[in-house]
Amino acid sequence: MAHVIQPLDQPSNYKDSQTRMDRKRQNETLVNSTTLYIGNLSFFTTEEQIYELFSKCANAADGGGIKRIIMGLDRNTRTPCGFCFVEYYTHAEALASMRYVSGTKLDERIIRCDLDLGYREGRQFGRGKSGGQVRDEHRQDYDPGRGGWGAQAQRLEVERRRAVEERYSDAQDGPGAVAGGGEEWKEIETSEGKLKRGRSPEDEGDNDRMGRRTRIDEVTEADRM
């Protein structure tokens, strides 16, 4: 259905200017992308607010859901600087957000979504000279949702800001700083299983113990049914 009107879920001209992918690979990646770049956020908006809005496009019964949210931070101050990444489990959910959420308000600002190539280490930080987003350095006008001394007149905003400023003070960088959010379901092998596999780095669990657990579950389930 694209003859009479233009669908809203097409990738825009937004791109990660520092990606090393060639154009063709970028396009292929976007066609299956499960990640969105979200822009024009208020500096005060929390991950939970973002979760709430974007969960409206989540489709758990199709194997989807919100995998993780990565808040964009000022490189120097470690405070939110107005963007984030939302990663779903399925591409369809990312498209739904483009159609139904992009261009609506969150925290009283019109937010913008774009299909993204996927989070990579380091992308959680702003790239402006001052540590924030480049976009903000070009801005002339005062924007209360994005900080500036004018907002201090408002008590509520001051309190919100304090909470936000402290929140990410522990933010790390480097490998493993950002959580994965949980992978797809995997069979947990029983201790006596012949299919015992080698440990993968993300699988730190004690297979033996888990195995026993699963087996017992199956027994009780069999009794139940």
Q: How far is the CB of 204 from another protein (least distance, A)?
A: 5
Comparison of 138 and 175: residue with beta carbon closer to another protein: 175
CB atoms within 10 A of CB 87: 21
Beta strand ranges found along 140-222 (DSSP E): none
Query: Which of 103, 126, 124 lies closest to 53, judged by CA?
Result: 103
Comparison of 45 and 133: residue with beta carbon closer to another protein: 45
Residues whose CB falls within 8 Å of the CB of residue 34, separated by 6 or more in sequence, listed in order: 67, 87, 88, 89, 90, 91, 93, 94, 118
Transcribe 74-103 into DSSP letters.
Answer: -TTT-SEEEEEEEEESSHHHHHHHHHHTTT
Q: How far is the CB of 15 from another protein (least distance, A)?
A: 15
Reduce the DSSP state of residue 115 to 3 states and report it.
strand
Helices vs strands, H then E, count in the chain: 6, 6
Comparison of 129 and 174: residue with beta carbon closer to another protein: 174
Comparison of 59 and 77: residue with beta carbon closer to another protein: 59
Provide the greatest CA pair distance for the chain: 69
Q: How far is the CB of 215 from another protein (least distance, A)?
A: 9
Q: How far is the CB of 129 from another protein (least distance, A)?
A: 26
Reduce the DSSP state of residue 116 to 3 states and report it.
strand
Comparison of 22 and 48: residue with beta carbon closer to another protein: 48
Comparison of 129 and 225: residue with beta carbon closer to another protein: 225
